[in-house]
Chain A
């Protein structure tokens, strides 16, 4: 449960994991190193201009393609506070919850550079410039528990009594 305020990087539908982090960088799992190449081929200014707290807004089927967990790790390394999209591809969704990258399923009509305030407690996204509000549903209870535990690893440790 959290609140985020950040500047928007706007993407379209079907953002795939090859765009987020190309396969040639899979030789490291380090989020900071991966962030140096995030979106580098499709938006070359992203790695140098992204700031801590920025928010990614996508269309439908965000994170489609490869199972590479390096994709949400690269976004976390870049300081992205959360990803808002109309829908998420399954493996990307699961990977993000597992490592603690907040994903919010919501269709939001904003452009690059807009500022959003995301309130996950109340399920509200506010467009700070226009004042427009968007509502979204919270995570299913099981996934919220997993996310609140700090991701899969802490959840498993807790369940196993480690």
Chain B
């Protein structure tokens, strides 16, 4: 097979569909792994049963269900939804993740995603898994139902938007600030239906966790997926979770064809904030310093991983959060929570005044935590749409874990580079 001049998306979808493909080709591809959660799985099961006439999945080792969007269950309706999913999972013998196991994307990245895999999830942030070199994209419940039954889906091979990031990021300026900067530059539909490749020396030097933060937010620019090359860091990440055997290198060819690109000088990136009510309404923290907030949240599929909690703990060590705010922390998974506990991170956060909650993502969509009228939240999540955190009379500002932690101490937006040590 001729692999000259191909992007990562073209390579993966070419191999999976068994023919040479380039952007624009319509393909039917086998899917390596499919998952859904308590917001989308019930409808997928109903579509399997009522429309496709079966409750049986194509391969029980390639399907999982996760209770994370409203977990632990806050209502009888949600508990009934969880029971419905549980029954289905037991019938099929698929992997099922309970209340408190974690956010679907963190579970999938720890246990299932790997380079060259085609991953489909009934959640828009499924693009996260490209951070490990997979081709991963979100779909709705009917598409997901068809994948759960047949193990295949149709796709248009996407064009690629290359994001070149070079240089050394300043201290306290993590990858979240880079991706917010990029979305602010290109807009909420800046990479429509495309694959966003994050490449360059800055990405090479980043942890897999940091890469996942960027690929997670590709959807916020309208992209089909985000993707990073799989290298030795990806191999070590897989090894940590006992899956070194699933490693295989992938990168784009030097002469691959790109539809668009943007260059980012990492050294010049500042701490950034996405202001209400759009993710591309991005401003430097310096323009918002002093803005009082009511609640600070650290967690989500974007920034609830160990390195995020570690950064927060470093800033909050021997400090107290402002008496005027609440600090809510949601570790992304059970394993993240265990590691953070062993490192003393959780004790630091608790002593600083944080409410540390069970792993999950209910706060980000207002299912397990909601804002009051007129309140402002500063959060490490990926969306700030009006009403997202359960109240359309509230405002949501998005930032990095460093900015969130520094701001929690002061009770107002604070630049983590100049925070009092």
Contacts and interface: CB of A to CB of B under 8 A. Distances in A.
A65 B385 contact: yes
A68 B146 contact: no
Contacts of B139: 67, 91, 94-95
B47 A153 contact: yes
Interface string A63-82: 01111111000000000000
A91 B127 CA distance: 12
B365 interface: yes
A151 B383 CA distance: 30
A124 interface: no
A68 B39 contact: yes
A147 to B, nearest CB: 13
Given A98-B142, A152-B142, A14 B53 contact: no
Given A60-B189, A156-B146, A142 B53 contact: no
Contact of A29 (B46, B80, B138, B146): B46
B307 to A, nearest CB: 26
B56 to A, nearest CB: 14
B78 A99 contact: no
Interface in A110-162: 142, 151-153, 156-157, 160, 162
B193 A19 contact: no
Contacts of B366: 22-24
Q: Which 7 A-B pairs have the closest CB atoms?
A: A69-B140, A95-B140, A29-B43, A23-B365, A153-B51, A61-B189, A27-B77
B16 interface: no
B93 interface: no
B42 A24 contact: no
A52 interface: no
A61 to B, nearest CB: 4
Interface residues of B, number: 46
The majority secondary structure among interface residues of chain B is: loop
B29 interface: no
A91 B42 contact: no
Interface stretch (B159-167, B250-258, B386-394): B386-394
B388 A67 contact: no
Contacts of A26: 39-40, 69
Interface in B347-368: 365-367
Given A27-B81, A67-B124, A69-B43, A61 B385 contact: no
Interface string B41-79: 011001100011100000000000000010000000110
A29 B141 contact: yes
Contacts of B77: 27
Interface in A16-62: 16, 18-19, 22-24, 26-27, 29, 41-42, 60-61
Nearest to A151: B142
B237 to A, nearest CB: 25
A89 interface: yes
Contacts of A3: none
B392 A67 contact: no
A65 B278 CA distance: 11
A67 B387 contact: no
Interface in B367-383: 367, 383
9 contacts: A18-B365, A26-B40, A64-B222, A87-B192, A91-B140, A94-B143, A98-B140, A153-B51, A153-B142
A91 B365 CA distance: 18
B267 interface: no
Given A69-B141, A142-B26, A27 B78 contact: yes
A126 B365 CA distance: 39
B122 interface: yes
Given A29-B141, A66-B39, A67-B123, 18 more contacts: A18-B385, A23-B69, A27-B42, A27-B80, A29-B43, A42-B386, A42-B392, A64-B189, A66-B123, A67-B138, A67-B139, A68-B39, A90-B222, A95-B140, A98-B140, A142-B26, A142-B154, A152-B142
A90 B39 contact: no
B52 A156 contact: yes
B193 A90 contact: yes
A153 B146 contact: yes
B94 interface: no
B171 to A, nearest CB: 33
B150 A160 contact: yes
B188 interface: yes
Contacts of A41: 386-387, 392
B384 to A, nearest CB: 10
Nearest to A141: B26
B224 interface: yes
A61 B222 contact: yes
Interface in B98-141: 121-124, 126, 138-141
Contacts of B222: 61, 64, 89-90
Contacts of A27: 42, 77-78, 80-81
Nearest to A95: B140
B390 to A, nearest CB: 7
B188 A19 contact: no
A151 B51 CA distance: 11
A27 B367 CA distance: 11
Interface in A83-103: 87, 89-91, 94-95, 98-99
